[in-house]
Amino acid sequence: MVFRGRRKQIHGSINDTDGKFDCIFMVDVIHHIRYVGKLAKQFHDHLNSGGVVAIVTKSQEQVNANHLKAYFPLLTDININGRYHWYRPIRQLICQFKSAGFKHVETIPFQENASRYLTQSEVDRIKSKCISDFVLMPDAALDSGIKKLTKALKDTQSNTIECTYAGKTILVFSKK
């Protein structure tokens, strides 16, 4: 499905905008939202009839299968246990959007079980804390994980570790 139209990027609350939208698209954001039901209702209020919401996120299962968890065990605490992020079961997100008046159209898992290669550049990205998971991690846990990952890379002949990426999920809802 291809959409044509105007694009408006919103920083802050959707309630600060005027007008309605045909499509609301979120990528890797919903886990930062504590009260998803409230957000779903706001989306419903600002969406034209027949409009669509598409959300790209990871499910709890996908987060639990994180390929870096062996090196950084706190990732589960940071991402699932509600300490900093709120990755929820997909069925819970669907229920919250349905309760706000949406029709669940489709759930699309993608990039599941894709090969991913860890290299020194990945270690450098983690050191720079370019992902919020690592910004939120205590320095001692981050340093320990970096040391483990660096050692594991040095123990391979290719300085590369092949692992499996758990993927993400796209949820699509329409306004009834």
Give the separation between CA 114 and CA 138, rounded to whole angstroms: 29
Q: Is 113 helix (H, G, I), strand (E, B) or coil?
A: coil
Give the separation between CA 143 and CA 69, rounded to whole angstroms: 14
Token representation of residue 4? 């044509």
pLDDT for 136 beyond 70: yes
| The CATH homologous superfamily of the domain defined by 22-175 | Vaccinia Virus protein VP39 (3.40.50.150)
Please give the radius of gyration of the chain, using alpha carbons only, rounded to the nearest integer. 19
pTM: 0.81
Residue-wise pLDDT for 27-75, tens only, equals 999 998 989 999 999 999 999 999 999 999 998 888 888 889 899 998 8
What are the b/e assignments for 94-126, b being 16+ CB within 10 Å? bbbbeebebeeeeeeeeeeeeeeebeeebbeeb
Token representation of residue 153? 């890379």
Q: Is 56 helix (H, G, I), strand (E, B) or coil?
A: strand
DSSP 46: T
Q: How far from the centroid of its chain's Cα atoms is residue 65's Cα?
A: 13
SS3 content of the chain, % helix, strand, coil (to 5): 35, 25, 40
By mean pLDDT, which of 36-40, 86-90, 101-105 is the weakest?
86-90
